């Protein structure tokens, strides 16, 4: 009996180490790599050692984590975009109710079937997903968000998804931005096919 308990404790310790390496969340297939089968996973869930975050994803202590840690743990391959990214750049004072995350268009849509935290995915072509993306610390992990120039172009591209007042405020903040990179903005504008909008809406002030 003692050896079984020792083996179990060693597995829990290994599990904790791996969880830390994976931002606190692991997929079922990653647990299988630790020689855990479905029955063992279910046993650990029933005993409260593991938490089932959502279908195919497990954690240790997930419910005690902040929203930020949950998001960076679940979507390390995503990029915070639009109003969520604007908030983290200090362009918006109120944090949006929903996390807006750009992801590869080939990403499984089932990843976003969850009640909490609320996430709104934006599916993008793989070759444009990481253009202008910069890594930053979010909660216990790391994630990407778009730089200001990419954000301005995306806001103009998706302006029908934003409140007019919010967009005007964001454009004003960018115009007043001391560290803006106009050359980069124009390059992104061409890339995102919003050159005319950039010239018409903010070009006159730059």
Delimit the domains of the chain by residue range. 2-64, 67-146, 148-206
Q: Contact at 8 Å (CB) between 194 and 153?
A: yes
**Tokens, residue 103:** 């992801």
CA–CA separation, 100 vs 119, rounded Å? 6
DSSP code string of 125-188 = -HHHHTTTEEEEEETTEEEEEE-HHHHHHHHHHTGGGS-HHHHHHHHHHHHH-TT--HHHHHHH
Predicted local confidence at residue 206, as pLDDT = 66
C-alpha–C-alpha distance, residues 96 and 20, integer Å = 28
Res 100: pLDDT? 96
Residue 8, burial from CB neighbour count under 10 angstroms (0-12, 13-18, 19+): middle
Strands 141-146 and 79-80: parallel
Structure tokens that stand for 59 in this block:
């954690």
Alpha-carbon torsion 180, 184, 188, 194, what sign? Answer: positive
Residue (of 78, 190, 68, 72) closest to 133 by Cα position: 78
State how far the Cα of 159 lies from the Cα of 58, in Å rounded to an integer: 37
Q: Is the dihedral of CA 163, 173, 132, 185 positive or negative?
A: positive
| Consecutive 10-residue averages of pLDDT for the chain (206 residues) | 77 83 80 88 86 80 78 91 96 92 92 82 94 93 94 95 92 92 94 94 77
Q: Which of 194, 175, 182 is nearest to 128 (CA)?
A: 194
Quickly count: other Cβ atoms within 10 Å of residue 112's Cβ.
17
- CATH 3.30.70 is right for the domain spanning 2-64: no
69 alpha-carbon distance from chain centroid: 10
């Amino acid at each position: 009996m003692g050896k079984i308990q020792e083996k179990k404790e060693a597995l829990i310790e290994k599990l904790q180490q791996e969880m830390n390496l994976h931002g606190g969340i692991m997929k079922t297939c990653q647990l299988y790599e630790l020689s855990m089968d479905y029955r063992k996973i279910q046993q650990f869930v029933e005993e409260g050692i593991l938490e089932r975050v959502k279908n195919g994803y497990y954690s240790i202590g997930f419910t005690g984590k902040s929203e930020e840690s949950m998001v960076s743990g679940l979507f390390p391959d995503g990029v915070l975009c639009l109003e969520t990214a604007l908030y983290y750049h200090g362009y918006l004072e109120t944090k949006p109710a929903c996390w807006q995350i750009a992801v590869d268009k080939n990403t499984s849509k089932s990843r976003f079937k969850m009640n909490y935290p609320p996430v709104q995915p934006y599916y993008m072509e793989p070759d444009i997903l990481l253009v202008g993306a910069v890594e930053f610390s979010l909660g216990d992990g790391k994630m990407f968000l778009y730089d200001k120039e990419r954000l301005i172009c995306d806001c103009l591209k998706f302006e029908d998804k934003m409140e007019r007042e919010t967009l005007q405020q964001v454009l004003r903040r960018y115009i007043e931005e001391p560290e803006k990179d106009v050359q980069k903005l124009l390059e992104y504008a061409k890339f995102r096919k919003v050159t005319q909008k950039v010239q018409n809406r903010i070009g006159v002030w730059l």
